[in-house]
Amino acid sequence: MKHFGSFLFFLLFFMFGSTTPILGLYFTKHLGFGGLESGIILSLAAAGGIIAPTIGLSIADRLISSERLLAVMLFGASTVLFSLSFITDFKIFAPVYFLMALFTSNILPLGNAVIFHHLKDKNKYGRIRLWGTIGWICAAWFFGYLWMNPFFNPHPQLSQAFILGSCASLILGISVLFIKIKRIHKPQVKAKFKGFINKEALSVLRSSKGMRYAAVIFIAACSDKFYMYAAAPYLKASGIKENSVSPFLTLGQLSEIFAMIFLSVIVVKFGYRATIIAGSVFNMIRYAMFILPSGVFIFPGIFCHGLAYTLVFPVITIMVDQLCSEKDRAGVHQIYGMITGGAASIVGNIFCGRVLDHFTNNGVTDFKKFWLIPLTMTLIQVISVFYLIEYKRKSRFFVTQEISET
């Protein structure tokens, strides 16, 4: 499963990496959407990030296996991504993008659940997740310098990123069909279905640790939306050519690869709370560098993105997984997917859109003032980690022994 898991994450993040980095630039400069309109689109998608996992957590590994449900979501995402490449009207684009979110919001939590179902040694998760970062980098460079190159494509358009993502989703959907289903329930599972919400999964969220982990990941995800949306327009405003925006942003993924490789060593040596605090501090440094007057700090700031992401989100994901049993694992990951991709996205994207409009005059955005807002949010993130993530003595074990005691 290790090799297939790496392949799964590679194509999964190749799909996301094809479209996500350029969304802010595509919305504002090509479709002519304002900050609020863009925020509404992304928040509608976030609403899908709440609705879809609600359905998914009620049926995954109960009425249908996580493996087959993941394939269904990938086929649906492929179809909708392809259609988005041809839509330019806001009134049509917004609901179709919402439909896409109904599929894509289930994909990452289900992917995590499938990986953990089949992975015997949880210590290998970081190395497997590393291939997702490599997939994201490959998508950005392939699209920016090959697909958008007139030598290879006589009519390059930014909207074609959705077609590339559609192809990746289709290939991955077909591949997932070949995963052997792991039976974790008895055949009478259908008769035991007693409600729309997986109560076992909700009990994990309602636990003290579950609530504290959810609060931290919510705050971190809200501040991260500012970077995910505004980084591309910021680079374009700083003089970076359009076809180079996505490849330049992959500098953040290069640091993510470095952090993923040494993640287990870092956690063993310094512990979970210290690791997450370090990631939160790198988040602050990222936004601080964007505010500094000299443009030379742009790329060090982007480099900090990978460290800010890896030292927070995968670590909390592993901690959350250790609160699960096999029976409720898919549901728990779906719930936390609803928090990061749903609730946090709604709040973060709407807020980001309003802030962007507030600091934009005659089509020109004052990014120095814009980045002050997420910088303040990251300070709140650091404080929340101090108070909500418990301190533990260091252990020579990484995942299974360390977290099971938290």
Which helix (H) or strand (E) element contains residue 75? helix 66-84
Identify whether 184 is part of a domain: no
Query: At a CB cut-off of 8 Å and minimum separation 6, what does 186 contact?
Result: none
Distance CA 314, CA 394 (A): 18
Instruction: Report pLDDT for 114.
Output: 78
Question: Comparing 194 with 181, which gets the higher pLDDT?
Answer: 181
Instruction: Report pLDDT for 184.
Output: 54
List the domain range (segments joined by +) for residue 244: 2-177+193-399
Identify whether 221 is part of a domain: yes
Identify whether 406 is part of a domain: no
Identify whether 114 is part of a domain: yes
Q: How confident is the model at residue 101 (pLDDT cuts 50, 70, 90)?
A: confident
Identify whether 204 is part of a domain: yes
Identify whether 132 is part of a domain: yes
Identify whether 38 is part of a domain: yes
Identify whether 187 is part of a domain: no
Distance CA 185, CA 108 (A): 22
Q: How confident is the model at residue 402 (pLDDT cuts 50, 70, 90)?
A: very low
Instruction: Report pLDDT for 158.
Output: 85
Instruction: Report pLDDT for 2.
Output: 56
Distance CA 229, CA 245 (A): 13
- For 78-93, what is each residue's pLDDT tens digit? 999 999 999 999 999 9
- For 206-260, what is each residue's pLDDT tens digit? 788 888 888 899 999 999 999 988 898 899 888 888 888 888 888 888 888 888 8
The domain tally of the chain equals: 1
Task: Tell me which residue has tokens 């917004």.
Answer: 94
Distance CA 15, CA 139 (A): 7
Region of poorest pLDDT, from 139-143, 189-193, 358-362: 189-193
Domain CATH for 388: 1.20.1250.20
Instruction: Report pLDDT for 193.
Output: 44
Q: Residue 379 pLDDT more than 90? A: yes
